[in-house]
Amino acid sequence: MSSLPTDVLFPGAFQSRMQHELGEAWPSFKEAHEQPAPVSIRINPQKKFSPALPHVLWSKLGFYLETRPVFTLDPAFHAGAYYVQEASSLFLEQVLQQAVDLTKPLRVLDLCAAPGGKSTHLLSLLSNDSLLISNEVIRARAQILWENIQKWGHANVVVTNSDPSAFQQLPGYFDIILVDAPCSGEGLFRKDPDACQQWSEDSVNLCAKRQQRILHEAWPALKENGLLIYSTCTYNAHENEANLTHFINDHRAEFVTLRLQPEWNIDEVVLNPVVGYRFFPHSVQGEGFFISAMIKKEPATRVKIKSNGKFNLATTRVVEQVKSWCKNPDWYKWIQQQDLIIQVPETLLPEIEFISSLLYPVGKGTAVASAKHDKLIPEHAFALSNSIATNHFATTLLTKAEALAYLRKDSLFVSEGLKGFGLMCFETNNLGWVNHLGNRTNNLYPAAWRIRMAAES
């Protein structure tokens, strides 16, 4: 990706502030912004994808690429084998591993979740009996979030489209709340020249006020001794440590001090009592980022989960059929919403039902099939699910060219003589469904997801 033109590299007020704060490191900071941004991905440990690439130092799941490929033309990307994510933000992994016991069943809220990087990261780190509520207030972005969640293949998640204030209906419910707050985007100047051009001091002040509102509205939903993680992609203390200082004046909490390795070159920020961690692009192989974590030290009455019976369980006939499609079928329950059969973990069913009645759910669990005229038609999300028993279905291994044709929803001539629903696979990961009709094969890839980009020459 091209760097910013050096003659309009930074807004004047931003440059003056950073020169003052960085001192002798300013030339290195400026030079870093004249270099291409590093490219990093985070693999899905539930899918079969093991790249021989350099690791992101603070993440077991993160890797660097030498160059930025056209991800749209990589079938593994569409299979949910990996997520393209900025390396600095993968430090969330260290926060969670050092601050909480990830083997326990946890209730987690990702409050500002679109497009889904941190939510899919959370799903890879949490136990199967944990529940993630992944929320996005902007409807169009919530749909993108839901698409990325489906690619990741987990059923212990609900995607919601609610204002942060709505979560006050769940007092003391969450063990962890992540607030990856909307910010002025200073840390993305190298990757996104538009962020640089749109920056202003007024924007910083507006973001700081919005961040304060979000923190205060989310806080009641965190249980006593629960963990709140706050992050931004900006260097600005007004949006980071000063914001947290303002917040802590009204609330009782203890900040978490993390163990850092010297080779990580991450700056620890201490402004008593605030402790945070700042990433500079001249120090780390990543973009600008800030993260802090605090433990709530206030009493919080936990909401009582009330099963309201609004979910309709699928019929015995449907359940017997979909059970044969699943690995570990005893883990799940199947509900039916109109024609859609949805799979959710049995232990989480009452909570998912209760939360769905309070908030605005975009999607929940894994859509397994649609019931049409006494026949079950498998859903695309289930093809990407980590619970699918792939050996139950006829599978076809595609070349890259064939996989891209499938992802464009082109007509296929895959197999003669086969009948019924089958899986299209690329390098052992499922891409989606087809319907074999004996003399032809119908491509069932979702029209809304299809690739519209032409192949590289």
State pLDDT tens for residues 394-417: 999 999 999 999 999 998 766 667
Q: What's the CATH class of domain 6-296?
A: alpha beta
- Amino acid 412: pLDDT: 77
* pLDDT over 50 at 288, yes or no: yes
Region for 374 from its dihedrals, namely left if φ exceeds 0, alpha if ψ lies in -120 to 50, beta otherwise: left
pLDDT band at 456 (very low <50, low <70, confident <90, very high): low
Rounded Cα–Cα distance for residues 354 and 114 (Å): 23
Domain 393-457 has CATH 3.30.365.10: no
Query: What are the sequence ranges of the domains in the chain?
Result: 6-296, 304-392, 393-457
- Amino acid 415: pLDDT: 65
What is the fold of 304-392? Nuclear Transport Factor 2; Chain: A, (3.10.450)
Domains 6-296 and 304-392 are alike in CATH topology = no
Average pLDDT, the chain: 94
Secondary element (H or E) of residue 119 = helix 117-125
Secondary element (H or E) of residue 214 = helix 201-218
Express each pLDDT in 166-202 by its tens digit: 999 999 999 999 999 999 999 999 988 888 889 999 9
Of residues 7 and 394, more confidently modeled: 394
Which token pair is 98? 């050092």
Q: Which is catalytic among the residues 112, 196, 207, 233? A: 233
Residues whose CB falls within 8 Å of the CB of residue 193, separated by 6 or more in sequence, listed in order = 4
Catalytic, 425? Answer no
Q: Alpha helices of 160-264 — where are they, by DSSP H?
A: 193-198, 201-218, 241-248
